[in-house]
Structure 1
Amino acid sequence: MAGPSKSLVLDPALQKYYELNANRYKYFRWSPRHAWLSFVYMALIPGTLGYLAYKTEGKFELRGKRKGDPVSEW
């Protein structure tokens, strides 16, 4: 009973989408929008996160209180 069905009809719109998605690199063109998004995701966001991590390194004690630790930090 298992196996390909002869009555299976594939949706042509989905087939076209799958084909386009598999060959996306053939249709890609650089545009100002693509350049800006690439800069944001590859340079601006990692750079900002790195800067914030560098500036706040060692400023916070994230370990929770344990039995025997004093309540006040200072």
Structure 2
Amino acid sequence: MAGLKHYKMSMDPAIQKLGNMTTNRHKYFRFNPRTARLTFIYAMVVPALFGVLAYQTDGRWDLRAKRRGDVISEY
């Protein structure tokens, strides 16, 4: 087993094509309605939702120095 030279095996053309496509994806990318919508959702909506959630729950739970049986909600 140790004497085999695995680098001399022939490469699968589909794997080479996939690697080439992912390497050069930036050359062929275009904004269309679907990609623009996804970009807007991931760049604007998701961080805004996390921000609103963090603002609403700020200070609600205190997880430091709690023992078994203590409640974590402060109000």
- Give the TM-score of the pair, scaled to structure 1: 0.74
Q: How does 1:1-74 map to 2 (within 5 A)?
A: 1=3, 4-5=7-8, 8-63=9-64, 64-65=66-67
- Other structure's SS at 2:60 match: coil
What is the letter of the counterpart of residue 14 of structure 2? A
Q: CA RMSD in A?
A: 2.6
Corresponding letter in the other structure for 1:49: F
TM-score relative to the length of structure 2 = 0.74
1:41 and 1:26 map into 2 onto residues whose CA distance is: 22
Cα deviation for residue 62 of structure 1 reads 2.1
| SS at structure 1 position matched to 2:11 | coil
Code of the aligned partner of 2:58:
E
User: How far is 1:2 from its partner?
Assistant: 7.0
Structure 2 unaligned regions, length at least 5 = none
- Which digits, 9 at most, give the CA deviation of each residue in 1:22-71, with x for residues without a partner? 000011110111011111111101111101111111122223227xxxx5
Aligned residues, how many?
69
Q: Percent identity?
A: 41
Relative contact order, CA 8 A, sep 6+: which one is greater? 2
Amino acid at match of 1:31: N
